[in-house]
C-alpha cells in the first residue's frame, strides 16, 4: 500500500468559491477554504466603469474564479500539511447556467480592455434574468412547432439558460457575439483553465443548453427561424465534445500547478452543476432516493433507469448526474427565503426582543414554540409561492397565500404554516414524479436547512410520509466534486473507476433519520388534500385573483 491519496473538490457558489481536500479512501474532509469573490455579483455597474447595468442583470468577473484556484487550493494544502504529490484528482462544480464569451485561446472577452466596457463581454451569472423576452420567444416557437425538447424540460425553458442568454448577446451586442470564438459554461471554463482542454459537460449541456444524448442539439433550422444568425450556433459558438461526468478532461498544466501549489499532471474532471454534484456527495448513486438540496431554495434530484416525461420538472438528462442513469431535476424557487422574509420583514418586535433576551436567533425562538403544536392545530394553510412556482405550475408570477388567520393567530403558528407549505410543495413534486412513473421511496436531505431546524425536518417526514436521511457532509457539492475528481484519476492513479465506487468510499449519511409519525402523517394527508385544492384553484388559471392583484400593483 502506498501513502494516503487525496482529491480536491472546488465548489463555485454565487458569492464565493470553496476548495475541499478529501481523503480518497474514507471521504474524510481534511481541510476547507473559502475565497469570497472580490467583485461579488455585479447588478448595477461594471468594474472601472460608471455605466449602469439594466434591471435584471447579474454579471461576474472571471478573475474571481481564478483567484479561488490561486488562494483556496494552496490554502487547503497548507492547512492539511498533505504532500501535494498525494493529490490525484480535482473536480469542479459551478452555479449554472453561468456563461462567458471567450476568444480562440479561451481568454474571456472582458479581459480585453477594448471590449471590457461592453457588459455583454462579462460573465452572465445564473440569475441574470434579462433574457426573458428571448426565453418567451423560444418557448412560444417551440410549442407552436411541437419541438421534442420541450417535454424534457417540463414544457418550458428558463431565461436563465444558455440559448436565451446567448441570443440576448446576439441581439444587443452583435459585435461581441461575432468576436466570441465560443460561449462556455463557467463549469467548463474553469477545467479548461487548468488543463487547456475545451470539453463540455453532459450535465451543463443537457440541463441548460438543450443537448440530448441520442438526439444531440435541436435542429439549427429551429433557431434560424427565430434569428438567421443563430442557425449555426451549435456548430460554432457552442461547439466542443460533450462527455459524461467523471471523465478526465485533461491534466493540470505546469503553469497552473505552480500557481495552485500542486504537482503538474493531476487528473481534472469535467465540470458539473453545483446542486447535481451534491447527489454523489450524499452517497446517492442509484434510483429510488430523492435528494433535496435544501437552503434558500430547494433543488430536488433523482436518478432513474428510464427517460419519462414528468410534469413540471426542470429537466431530465442522460448521464446528467451519475453516468448510466437519467438524472431528473425539479425545484422550489423559495424555501429558506420564505422563512427569511418572515423573520426579517414580518415578525412583531416583541419576538425579536424575546429572542434576543433569551440569546437565541429569531428562527430558533419561533421553532421552539412552533414545535409545541400538533399538525392542524394552528388552523392555517399556506401556498408556498413567495417566489413563484418552478414545478408543476411553472409560473414565476404566482404569489403566496395564508388561509385561516384570526385575531388569535400567533407568529409561531404562521412560521409553522410557512414550513408546512414548503413541505406540501415538495410532496406535490414527489406526486408528479410518482404520477410520471418514477418511484420515490426515500428522501435524502443536504444543504443548510437540515442542519438548522429539526422541527422542519420532522414536518417534511410527516407531510411526505417518507423517511428522511441526512447527508453526513455539510459540503455535499464540494465533496461530490472531489468524488468526480477521484474518478477522473481512475484506479491506476490511486482514484476510482466509477462514481458509485468512489461514492461508496467517500460519502455517507448520518445514522439518525427522520421517520414519519403515523398520527401526524394522517392529519397532513387531510391538510394536503386541501392544499391541492388551493394549489389548483389559484395556480391553474381558474381563478383570476392573483392576476388582478398583480395587474393593479404594476399599473
Ligand atoms: N433555523 C432556521 N430554520 C429555518 N430556516 C433557516 C434557519 N436558519 C436559517 N434559515 C434559512 O436558511 C437559508 C440559508 O440556507 P443555506 O443552505 O445556508 O444557504 P444557501 O441555500 O444560500 O446555500 C436562509 O434562507 C435562511 O432563511
Ligand atoms: O440552477 C441551479 C441548479 O440547476 C442552481 O439554482 C444555481 O446553480 C444556483 O445554485 P445555488 O443557489 O446553490 O448557488
Return the closest-CA partner of residue 507 out of 248, 282, 271, 230. Answer: 282
pLDDT tens, position by position, 173-226: 999 999 999 999 999 999 999 999 999 999 999 999 999 999 999 998 999 999
**What percent of the chain shows pLDDT beyond 90?**
92
What is the C-alpha separation between 205 and 272, in angstroms, rounded?
Answer: 10
Q: What pLDDT sits at residue 295? A: 93
pLDDT tens, position by position, 307-360: 998 998 999 999 999 999 999 999 999 999 999 999 999 999 999 999 999 999
User: Rounded to two decimals, what is the model's pTM?
Assistant: 0.93
The average pLDDT across 539-543 equals: 80
Tell me which ligand sits closest to the C-alpha of residue 97: 2
Q: Are 92 and 269 in contact (CB under 8 A)?
A: yes
**What percent of the chain shows pLDDT beyond 70?**
99
Return the closest-CA partner of residue 336 out of 387, 300, 290. Answer: 387
The average pLDDT across 105-125 equals: 97
The average pLDDT across 473-484 equals: 97
Q: Which domains does the chain have, with CATH numbers?
A: 6-275+476-509 (3.30.420.40), 336-435+516-554 (3.30.420.40)
Supply the residue whose CA is at minimum distance from atom 1 of ligand 2: 96
Taken in order 302, 385, 394, 140, the sign of the CA dihedral is negative
Q: Grade residue 395 by pLDDT with cuts at 50, 70 and 90.
A: confident
CA 8 to chain centre: 20
Strands in 59-60's sheet, in edge-to-edge order, are 59-60, 123-124, 99-102, 182-185
CA distances (Å), origin 306, targets 427, 438, 500 = 21, 8, 18
Quote the ligand 1 centre to 450 CA distance (angstroms): 9
Q: Grade residue 554 by pLDDT with cuts at 50, 70 and 90.
A: confident
Please report the atom of ligand 1 found closest to the CA of residue 364. 1
CA distances (Å), origin 520, targets 107, 366, 459, 527 = 57, 20, 9, 11
CA distances (Å), origin 42, targets 12, 38, 39, 49 = 16, 11, 7, 12
In this structure, how many other beta carbons lie within 10 angstroms of the beta carbon of residue 28? 12
Residue pointed to by grid coordinates 427561424: 225
Residue 299 has pLDDT above 90, yes or no: yes
The average pLDDT across 289-294 equals: 97
Secondary structure of residue 138 in the 3-state scheme: helix
Q: What pLDDT sits at residue 2? A: 67
Ligand 2 contacts (CB < 6 A) are 13-14, 95-96, 126, 273-275, 296, 299, 329
Secondary structure of residue 82 in the 3-state scheme: coil
- DSSP code at position 344: I
The average pLDDT across 25-40 equals: 98
Tell me which ligand sits closest to the C-alpha of residue 187: 2
pLDDT tens, position by position, 218-277: 998 999 999 999 999 999 999 999 999 999 999 999 999 999 999 999 999 999 999 999
Residue pointed to by grid coordinates 448521464: 319
* Residue 306, all three cell numbers: 428510464
The average pLDDT across 390-404 equals: 90
What average pLDDT does the chain have?
Answer: 96
Quote the ligand 1 centre to 133 CA distance (angstroms): 32
Q: What does 152-196 look like in DSSP terms, one character per residue?
A: HTTT---TTSHHHHHHHHHHH-HHHHHH-SEEEEHHHHHHHHHHS
pLDDT tens, position by position, 45-67: 999 888 899 988 999 999 999 99
User: Which ipTM did the prediction report?
Assistant: 0.95
Q: What pLDDT sits at residue 60? A: 98
Burial 181-205 (b: 16+ CB within 10 A, else e): bbbbbbbbbbbbbbbbbbbbbbbbb
Ligand 2 mutation target, pool 275, 446, 448, most atoms within 8 A of CB: 275
Amino acid at each position: 500500500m502506498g501513502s494516503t491519496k487525496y482529491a480536491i473538490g472546488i465548489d463555485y457558489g454565487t458569492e464565493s468559491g470553496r476548495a475541499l481536500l478529501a481523503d480518497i479512501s474514507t471521504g474524510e474532509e481534511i481541510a476547507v477554504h473559502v475565497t469570497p469573490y472580490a467583485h461579488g455579483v455585479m447588478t448595477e455597474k461594471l468594474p472601472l466603469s460608471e455605466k449602469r447595468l439594466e434591471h435584471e442583470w447579474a454579471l461576474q468577473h472571471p478573475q474571481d474564479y481564478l483567484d479561488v484556484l490561486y488562494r483556496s487550493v494552496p490554502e487547503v494544502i497548507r492547512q492539511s500539511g498533505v504532500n501535494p504529490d498525494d493529490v490525484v484528482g480535482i473536480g469542479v462544480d459551478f452555479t449554472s447556467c453561468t456563461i462567458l464569451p471567450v476568444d480562440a485561446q479561451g481568454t474571456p472577452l472582458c479581459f480585453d480592455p477594448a471590449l471590457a466596457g461592453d457588459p455583454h463581454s462579462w460573465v452572465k451569472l445564473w440569475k441574470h434574468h434579462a433574457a426573458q423576452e428571448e426565453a418567451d420567444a423560444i418557448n412560444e416557437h417551440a410549442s407552436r412547432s411541437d419541438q421534442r425538447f420541450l417535454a424534457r424540460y417540463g414544457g418550458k425553458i428558463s431565461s436563465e439558460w444558455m440559448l436565451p442568454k446567448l441570443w440576448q448577446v446576439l441581439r444587443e451586442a452583435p459585435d461581441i457575439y461575432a468576436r466570441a470564438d465560443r460561449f462556455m459554461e463557467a463549469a467548463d471554463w474553469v477545467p479548461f483553465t487548468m488543463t487547456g482542454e475545451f470539453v463540455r459537460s453532459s450535465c451543463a449541456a443537457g440541463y441548460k443548453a438543450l443537448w440530448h444524448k441520442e438526439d444531440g442539439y435541436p435542429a439549427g433550422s429551429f433557431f434560424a427561424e427565430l434569428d438567421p444568425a443563430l442557425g449555426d450556433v451549435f456548430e460554432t459558438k457552442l461547439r466542443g465534445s460533450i462527455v459524461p461526468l467523471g471523465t478526465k478532461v485533461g491534466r493540470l498544466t505546469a503553469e497552473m500547478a505552480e500557481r495552485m501549489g500542486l504537482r503538474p499532471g493531476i487528473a481534472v474532471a469535467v465540470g458539473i452543476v453545483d446542486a447535481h454534484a451534491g447527489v454523489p456527495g450524499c452517497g446517492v448513486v442509484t434510483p429510488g432516493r430523492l435528494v433535496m438540496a435544501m437552503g434558500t431554495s430547494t433543488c430536488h434530484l433523482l436518478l432513474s433507469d428510464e427517460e419519462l416525461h414528468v410534469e413540471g420538472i426542470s429537466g431530465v438528462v442522460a448521464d446528467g448526474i451519475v453516468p448510466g442513469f437519467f438524472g431528473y431535476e425539479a425545484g422550489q424557487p423559495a424555501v429558506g427565503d420564505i422563512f427569511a422574509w418572515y423573520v426579517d420583514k414580518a415578525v412583531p418586535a416583541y419576538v425579536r426582543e424575546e429572542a434576543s433576551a433569551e440569546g437565541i436567533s429569531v428562527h430558533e425562538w419561533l421553532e421552539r414554540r412552533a414545535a409545541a403544536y400538533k399538525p392542524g392545530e394552528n388552523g392555517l394553510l399556506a401556498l408556498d409561492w413567495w417566489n413563484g412556482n418552478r414545478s408543476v405550475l411553472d409560473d414565476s408570477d404566482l404569489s403566496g397565500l395564508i388561509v385561516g388567520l384570526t385575531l388569535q393567530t400567533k407568529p409561531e403558528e404562521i412560521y409553522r404554516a410557512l414550513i408546512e407549505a414548503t413541505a406540501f410543495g415538495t410532496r406535490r413534486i414527489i406526486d408528479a414524479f410518482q404520477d410520471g412513473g418514477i418511484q420515490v421511496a426515500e428522501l435524502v436531505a443536504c444543504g443548510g436547512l437540515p442542519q438548522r431546524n429539526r422541527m422542519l425536518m420532522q414536518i417534511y417526514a410527516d407531510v411526505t410520509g417518507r423517511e428522511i436521511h441526512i447527508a453526513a457532509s455539510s459540503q455535499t457539492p464540494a465533496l461530490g466534486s472531489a468524488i468526480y475528481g477521484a474518478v477522473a484519476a481512475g484506479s491506476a492513479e490511486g482514484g476510482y473507476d466509477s462514481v458509485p465506487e468512489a461514492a461508496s468510499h467517500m460519502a455517507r449519511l448520518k445514522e439518525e433519520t427522520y421517520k414519519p409519525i403515523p398520527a401526524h402523517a394522517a392529519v397532513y394527508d387531510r391538510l394536503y388534500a386541501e392544499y391541492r385544492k388551493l394549489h389548483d384553484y389559484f395556480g391553474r388559471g381558474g381563478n383570476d385573483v392573483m392576476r388582478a392583484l398583480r395587474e393593479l400593483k404594476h399599473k
